[in-house]
Amino acid sequence: MERLRRKSQYIFTLLANAYWLFPWKSPIYQGPLKKICFPGLNCHSCPAASMSCPLGAFQNLLATLRPSIQMGQLHIGAYVLGSLGLIGSVAGRMPCGWICPFGLLQKWLFLLPVPKFSFWRPLRRGPYLFLIVFVVLLPLLVVDSLGYGSVWFCKYVCPAGTLEAGIPLLSLDQGLRSAAGWLFAYKFIVLILLLTWCSFTSRPFCRAICPLGAIYGLFNRVSWLRLRFHPDRCVQCKACLTICPTDVSFYNGLDDLNSAACIRCLRCFSICPSNAVSLEFGPVREDISKAVNTLEV
Amino acid sequence: MKRYFPLFTTIAFITLLALGIWSGEVPVVWHKAVTVCLSCIGIG
């Protein structure tokens, strides 16, 4: 299963960045595939990006909502939310574990031989904060005299934009390089800090910041695909907790197995020696939440 | 009722997706994605 997941991460990273003509042709891909939102975090200004970034697209639609209404159009981000919601309703947060290029990068960085630190659990609320404030409210409410807002998350937080788009484009274009100022310096520092954090802690961006993961995470309990914990089979060996990249502690009832923190990497499902974790696809079974509540009591 | 949440959410988001396509959001998404985003790369 882990080998399959690794292959999936590599294939989707290549698919999301399949335009390798940028040094000779247009600096970024401008074909029809960019009408499709890639289900992971991958900046569409990356020279090799073949699809659009859902977070960037959603913020752009919200930032231009007022002018679009004035022109008689209602562009509220339904296309982007519909795309993400459709994927989330089927697989929950599975794209985070199987598709996202930035998740793959975090996995690589965590392999570096440096001391490892556990994640501070209250930061789990971070992704919702970034989603509500930086992705929705600020682009929607902070507007100029013409009614245009800005893409706040992309501009001030997103490390993928700096890494995948900023650094390559500035390396290739003298004009862009000379235009870079304090904002690029700030974004570069944010990127370095985040990448450093990724080497010390497992998937900190997914767990503390990523608004895309926050959206998918909302579906984990009600998606077609779900994980199911069988407490009667559990031998309390903690193998699931040891291997979980987001420290979902379901064996002792601290977390729900289908909590929003789970990125559906399915490593717990693969490693459990007593088959206490199973996969389900279908309508929600009423006894799942009861099983968790029984454990908590 | 909770049993059919996956079905409800899938239908709701397919409807939302269709609404977005119908209201002309796809060309807007494409137009933004084929232009270098200066905010994303840290310039403007």
Q: From residue A268, how far is each of A105, A290, A295 by CA, in Å?
A: 21, 21, 18
Average pLDDT over residues A12-28: 86
Percentages of chain B per state (helix, strand, coil), in multiples of 5: 75, 0, 25
pLDDT for the residue A1? 85
Question: What is the least distance, in Å, from the CA of B26 to any CA of chain A?
Answer: 6
Using CA atoms in the order A35, A99, A269, A248, what is the torsion angle rounded to 10 degrees? -100
Structure tokens at A110: 């965590």
CB contact under 8 A, A85 and B37: no
Q: What is the ipTM of this complex?
A: 0.94
pLDDT band at A297 (very low <50, low <70, confident <90, very high): very low
B25, B36, B43: residue with CB nearest A183? B43
Q: How many distinct structural domains can be found in chain B?
A: 1
CB contact under 8 A, A284 and B37: no
Burial B2-32 (b: 16+ CB within 10 A, else e): eeebbeebbeebeebbebbeebebbebbbeb
CB contact under 8 A, A78 and B40: no
pLDDT for the residue A286? 66
Average pLDDT over residues A208-221: 95
Question: What is the least distance, in Å, from the CA of A291 to any CA of chain B?
Answer: 16
A28, A57, A74: residue with CB nearest B29? A57
CB contact under 8 A, A57 and B32: yes
Of residues A23 and A295, more confidently modeled: A23
pLDDT for the residue A137? 96
CB contact under 8 A, A52 and B30: yes
pLDDT for the residue A20? 84
Q: Where are the domains of chain A?
A: 2-216, 226-296
Find, among A118, A182, A115, A28, the residue nearest to B37 by Cα: A28
Q: Which amino acid is at A268?
A: C
At a CB cut-off of 8 Å and minimum separation 6, what does A66 contact?
A143, A147, A148, A149
List the domain range (segments joined by +) for residue B24.
2-41
CATH of domain A226-296: 3.30.70.20
